[in-house]
Amino acid sequence: MEQTIVLSSPRLKVELAQPGSVYRGARFDWSGFITQVTLDGKHTFCVPESYKAGEGTGGIGLCNEFGIEAAVGYDDARPGETFPKLGIGLLRRADEGPYGFFRPYEIVQQFPMSVEATADSAQVVVQPVECRGYAARLNKTYQVSGNSLQVAYTLENTGAKPIATHEYAHNFVGIDQQPVGPAYRLHFPYPVKSEKIDVKAMRGNAPPHLKKLPGFVQDFLIARYMRQAQGTIRFEGNDITFKPADKQSFYCRPQGFSRRETPQWTLSHVPSGVTVSETDDFAPWRVAVWGGNHVVSAEIFVDIRLQPGQTQRWARRYEFNAQP
């Protein structure tokens, strides 16, 4: 079996990884790795989370995650029991500590996944495995047309318990592998300002080595990181602009978002005129921006609330352009 499924139109080539071929970790949805998008045979958009081997959590290109703050069923699982991480499988809860996406949880059982593809579309189905009353079927459809790519999601609660979580696409983007700095501009359809971050609420997402420290030390280090993380970005009206980035990553949560028919964000490499934008058919639950010296990631979160037997659908459409 080929590790890469190639979907194409006259303008666009999209490379979709077979589930489990490029990533086998416990964070990102295995069915969602778009490892490269090429426009007009020359402009590329997807980069890895890190170019340094062993650094980061393994994200590549346009990939998504369910439950970054709390995976389904984690809170009522005892240490040693399993919980479902949507798009991956059943993970084992290690201890009494809160869920943390940095942690390499043991994957006890993978969800069965199947792929059907044509020249310009693919469908990935992730079948449910019941876990303490939780179960869900995920169906993802990828469609390439012209200079756009649509990713449509259908999530069905097939279990006996409610599902309450969030999903977002991480979007590891570096246009033509150009370094992040003043040449980039991230545009929003509203005047953008950053949310004040609740430092104590971020403890759950802190790296494992930080969680070993006393709470007040964690808060100090998280607050210092957030000050530094916003030091290489500027808010200019509807845009975020970038200073030359170094090893320090940047992070913020823009405010002012709502459901829109126009793109939720557009990333431009100004000198070349190359852009990528994302338009969604749902009202965002949260918007976040993360990045570093080679990558900008605009993240649009969707809220998921499903009673047993219910189904939720949502879609993202990416458009890739090159203007003179």
Chain-centroid distance of CA 244 in Å reads: 24
Least confident of 48-52, 76-80, 225-229, 302-306: 225-229
pLDDT at 72 over 80: yes
With vertex at residue 278, the alpha carbon angle to CA 273 and CA 282, rounded to the nearest 5 degrees, is 160
Q: Output the CA–CA distances (angstroms, integers) from residue 43 to 40, 106, 324, in the order listed.
A: 7, 38, 13
Query: CA 164, CA 63: separation in Å to the nearest integer?
Result: 21
Q: Are 271 and 137 in contact (CB under 8 A)?
A: no
pLDDT at 103 over 60: yes
Q: Are 308 and 31 in contact (CB under 8 A)?
A: no
Instruction: Give the model confidence (pLDDT) of 252-301 as tens digits.
Output: 899 999 999 999 999 999 999 999 999 999 999 999 999 999 999 999 99
- Residue 54's CB is within 10 A of a number of other CB atoms, namely 6
Residue 230 pLDDT = 61
Query: CA 162, CA 310: separation in Å to the nearest integer?
Result: 9
Domains of the chain (ranges, CATH numbers): 4-181+270-322 (2.70.98.10)
Query: CA 79, CA 74: separation in Å to the nearest integer?
Result: 10
- In one-letter notation, the amino acid at residue 81 is E
Q: Are 287 and 254 in contact (CB under 8 A)?
A: yes
Tell me the pLDDT band of 205, cut-offs 50, 70 and 90.
low
Buried (b) or exposed (e) across 210-234, using 16+ Cβ within 10 A?
bbeeeeeebbeebeebbeebbebbe
pLDDT at 214 over 90: no
What global pTM score does this model have?
0.90
Instruction: Give the model confidence (pLDDT) of 158-194 as tens digits.
Output: 999 999 999 999 999 999 999 999 999 999 999 998 7
Instruction: Give the model confidence (pLDDT) of 8-62 as tens digits.
Output: 999 999 999 999 999 999 999 999 999 999 999 999 999 999 998 888 899 999 9
Q: What is the mean pLDDT of residues 58-84?
A: 96
Burial of 247 (0-12, 13-18, 19+ CB in 10 A): exposed
Residue 223 pLDDT = 59
Q: Cα dihedral angle (176, 279, 300, 71), rounded to 10 degrees?
A: -110
Tell me the pLDDT band of 232, cut-offs 50, 70 and 90.
confident
